[in-house]
With several copies, the nearest count.
Chain A
Amino acid sequence: MATERDLVVLGVGMHPWGKWGRNFVEYGLVAAKAALADAGMVWRDIQFVAGADTIRNGYPGFVAGSTFSQAMGWTGAQISSSYAACASGAQGMQSARAQILAGFADVAMVIGADTTPKGFFAPVGGERKEDPDWQRFHLLGATNPAFFALNARRRIDVFGDTPDDFAMVKVKNSKAGVANPYARFRKEFTLDDFAGSPIVSDPLRLLDICATSDGAAAVIICTPEYAKAKLGTLEGTVRIRAVANTTPTYPQVRLELPDIATDSNAVVAAPALGFKDSVAHNAYEQAGLGPEDLSCAEVYDLSTALELDWYENLGLCPEGEGASLVRSGATALGGRVPVNASGGLASFGEAIPAQAIAQVCELTWQLRGQADGHQVEDAKVGLAINQGLFGHGSCTILSK
């Protein structure tokens, strides 16, 4: 059951995902105003603003908390600007959550927006020989899809997965995304579409890999007292049960973006729990819940194969059985535990600082029963998990 420490999601808002190349601030403003409207609040009510940064949009992107505060109108509120790659939104969530639980604010907005270049993500400019991101691009041409592919290949050769198993993830997610008004790609794909999709990084095809998108999301969270005063009751409110941001434990023996090499396990043995397992584990522990309690989950399907990894990291099935799980239909809408009922990154594409916040928006709509056309039946507990480059694991659990 939720406790006094479990903050309330008072309002959520998104700007649809797409590709327009406009100033990221404009998308963020739309999301912020939508979240305020959803919460029945005005901007001046917000006491703390946690921005999730974007690093490809100059100075305003580095100080997202400031940029959105100024764009909405300076109120003297406190702010934070966080960066944690794909987990930036989750770090923003935890920033706001801690400020509130520490008593510095009763209500806060978490916001992120991005506008992205076409094609592969490239590192920021300049010759920086000590930057692992520069190293992997310049010396190896090791793109993000190449890393996804290394993991996908392991699944094929070790677990016996097939490219069709991966494609099943896209088939499932694209079907769910058709009904999501915020999704960028609202087209249902079939296994047959994959044959015509070019190989990007063997064994992954273009359809296996998520695109980069423009988009924005905002969430308003508050203390239970604040919510009760505002709503008259806590009945039916969505509560934050866990925000677990976790780093690896040395030695990190799984090759992870953007590193060219793993840590060494010659002197210090690898921890019993792998990094991605530990991210979910910490969230379950915080929430006092387990995989069996989940009604649905949003996971970071940067590649189709990666979604299968997450099933196993989340404990939805034993290691190596992800492909069987997706094939069983258990993770599709109507299944035992629908995963990426939003359509996932397959339908959205990645808008880095917005994505983890958008996961919270989606779960909130699911728990409220407002996910028209892609509603998980009787959703009570939802989990969102993702991983940002450089050891940023994050997992959020919400419940009704």
Chain B
Amino acid sequence: MTATERVPAIDGWFTTSEPYTLIGAKCTDCATYVFPPRSGACPNPDCDSMELEPAPLSRRGTVWSYTENHYAPPAPYVAAEPFEPYALAAVQLEAEGIVILGQVAKGVMAADLSIGMEVEVDLQVLYRDADGVDHWIWTWAPAAPEASA
């Protein structure tokens, strides 16, 4: 299976081929960003636009806060059996002025994180469905130093 065949757990929120990138939406009028991407109206109350177009977001950001789930979340989360604790991080994207929550790359735990730390978008398997198909989700992974902007 090549990377481009990855099935996203939700359509249109991120690219499934490298470089992995979150996709938000951007108002064609006032240029405000939103994530997740949506149709409908611009959320800026002073902007009357109903045109939001897909917009790739910065691949890197800094950790605003983080936590670690020690119990399996309830459905509709599809938890692995046995459940393994994993971390979540809320990450600030500087250019877009948005904080986005995401799972942290497997194996990177709360103890490995700190506020202000640089992370970047990666993908990992969220769950395998009954048909054996893997569904992928974006993650926040510690940023590779060589690619630092």
Contacts and interface: CB of A to CB of B under 8 A. Distances in A.
A29 B88 CA distance: 33
Nearest to A32: B41
Contacts of B43: 70-74, 250-251, 263
Interface in B95-144: 95-103, 110, 114-115, 126, 137
Interface string B54-84: 0000000000111111111111111100000
A98 interface: no
Contact of A143 (B31, B69, B102, B137): B69
B39 A26 contact: yes
A328 interface: no
B70 A198 contact: yes
B23 interface: no
A141 B96 contact: no
A139 B90 contact: no
Given A139-B137, A153-B67, A264 B98 contact: yes
Nearest to B113: A153
Contacts of A158: 115
Interface in A141-171: 141-143, 146, 149-151, 153-154, 157-158
A149 B75 CA distance: 20
A153 B66 contact: yes
Contacts of A262: 98-100
Contacts of A202: 67-68, 70, 110
A146 B67 contact: yes
A129 B38 CA distance: 11
B100 to A, nearest CB: 4
A201 B98 contact: no
Contact of A43 (B45, B69, B78): B45
B76 A137 contact: yes
A29 B50 contact: yes
A30 to B, nearest CB: 8
B40 interface: yes
Given A29-B50, A137-B73, A137-B77, A71 B41 contact: yes
Contacts of B44: 73, 250-251, 267-268
Interface stretch (A7-15, A118-126, A287-295, A331-339): A118-126
Contact of A149 (B67, B95, B137): B67
B30 interface: yes
B45 A267 contact: no
A139 B71 contact: no
Contacts of B65: 150-151, 153-154, 157, 255
Interface of A: 23, 25-26, 29, 33, 42-44, 70-75, 119-120, 122-123, 127, 129-130, 134-143, 146, 149-151, 153-154, 157-158, 198-204, 250-251, 253, 255, 260-268
Given A70-B43, A140-B102, A266-B31, 5 more contacts: A29-B40, A142-B73, A154-B115, A255-B65, A267-B30
29 contacts: A26-B40, A29-B40, A29-B41, A29-B50, A43-B45, A43-B46, A73-B46, A122-B74, A137-B75, A139-B10, A140-B77, A141-B77, A142-B88, A143-B73, A146-B67, A150-B67, A150-B101, A154-B115, A157-B115, A158-B115, A200-B70, A201-B69, A251-B43, A261-B34, A263-B34, A263-B43, A266-B32, A266-B33, A266-B96
